[in-house]
Structure 1
């Protein structure tokens, strides 16, 4: 028999924008703060893949070593996300979000002053701590603020901000590398990456802590039953944590294998210049943005799990066609849209899904660990692709790791329960 929560989903306006029309002022403030945070987060992360070719030439590092910087950033983000999730359960979602944004903005700026690859590697690692923490705190904040019937669309629409940030990074690259020499332009890219710090002023003024989180922490303080960082590995939560962590590893491993090395693939194996590759990346980003919005709608319309299954199979199919068939550059440009669509759109369901898997008192810890464990494992893929490309084409290396990752994503998503329509409470 249907639950009241699922009945509520059935009678609500099913259109993509319905959630925004019905939002309360606190929900809208949170929505725009997190959307801006995701956009700036995406811009900050995607700067390095865009300048990786310049770094390789400037400091004479090999592809595997250059990929290591992306891997180290993601490994650090795994630790940062878990710690930030735990802090979000202890000191609050909003305060944790402010701390993480200031952290990764500062270290992005520091990257601009690196004098060799070792210094850049250290700065990127420290940046990763805040980068991972921002997602953990922001996703929980959004998931708890938005009502159950709109959670998938609202959180998914916020996720589309990543594509906007990616586009901002590509636009910055096109402008800066057109007017400045490469050895200077890459530094200014990282200076722009410090922009998220300005978002903290908006957060402090307009964004409120979710009521369900306030009530949960108040109950924990009154009873002395404060969450322990290891609780997500006990009892019935253990199976959920293992499967959700592997699912996150699959979806992020595939994404990072593609996005870290695609700019390099276009400029080496396809013979495009940095500036001329911008149009190909624009098609990929446009598809990514459309995928986020479609995924947000499908997360509430079909459910979280069907979204993951459809998009993981689509991503495998498109990446194999994109990298393994002898296609002209014109066809490759067209395929950029479906590649971006399927390789990104499933992220729209991840935030809501992980929010709904855990009780409120452990939600930050559980969501932060699972998503960022996935980042940690996915972090290995850029370096592995780089090292494997020494013995085969970069296209084949990307295809192997991306297809394997999306296969893991499909299997683990199938094994997890559907959570669409779940109402969140302070005690569970």
Structure 2
């Protein structure tokens, strides 16, 4: 593919946020170029979350990107909370007016969006490293990037940084123009992928004195499981047998057995919350992990990114069609309302379910009281369910 030099919207990053934004804008007739520093194989193999909120699934369907999701994805109508040797189900449709979530791996979402992008012929450049972002306070910002051994300059009207926490996008905003908020948690997640059918029909969130555990899945044949471990844990200290034994212990309830099988992937992920404000500086907009990080307990990372770019696509569409900047000017404030709601929910789920190091008896009793209330109160269960399935997604009506 030739290296383009002019476009309406330049998108940095071909993760789910950048690809979905490019797809939504293409459908509205807005020229875009998507630049990704990694190769296609890496992007399509990169393992991340696999829980899609109702709104995320809806926007994929509405944009023509949901066919394979509806064929291969797994609709889930609830989650199971396990603590103190018991099990408690939270029924999503009953508590949220029929809403649910979809289990469909991020790798598959990315594959679907890449296939659609390539089918349209719209520019998608892999192994295109952005070297500099300039002119974001003017009317014609530029990206300098390296592709196929040569450096190029891309001039555009708008730049959207969907390039993750460590990307060049947020770093291109003057530090004096950003305010950041961060919380680092005193534990990490040890995650495994295993070639074994799930031992549950819906996700299990387990609180145990030895630490949190989560049973998820990718497909009817592949399980995804997690264990709370210390933040500086050595992965070599966890042979497969130890992982399975610890998962069985932490999720144990009478009459239930955890199925085990070959582990195909194992990793440790740190836990943090992060928000950068505002999510816009001049003609540069931040979306997804470039602007915010949530701990994975609430399954919000991918969904926040999808909400950001759906909102941004609606704002850019109105600007493109009518020259109206109202939604663009409101983008940061509108997106941050949802971001902070998701941050609070993810924080509450994380602190309710994890066992902090050196937890004192008073805090343990408070934690148990919150778990018991959530399991026994319809109001508390409704709050969890509404946040888990996701708030209504803004911007969809603009993209119809």
Say which structure is richer in strand.
2
Settle same-fold status: TM greater than 0.5.
Answer: no
Bigger relative contact order, structure 1 or 2, given CA contacts below 8 A and separation 6+?
Answer: 1
Q: Name the TM-score, length of structure 1 as normaliser.
A: 0.25
Q: Name the TM-score, length of structure 2 as normaliser.
A: 0.26
Say which structure is richer in helix.
1
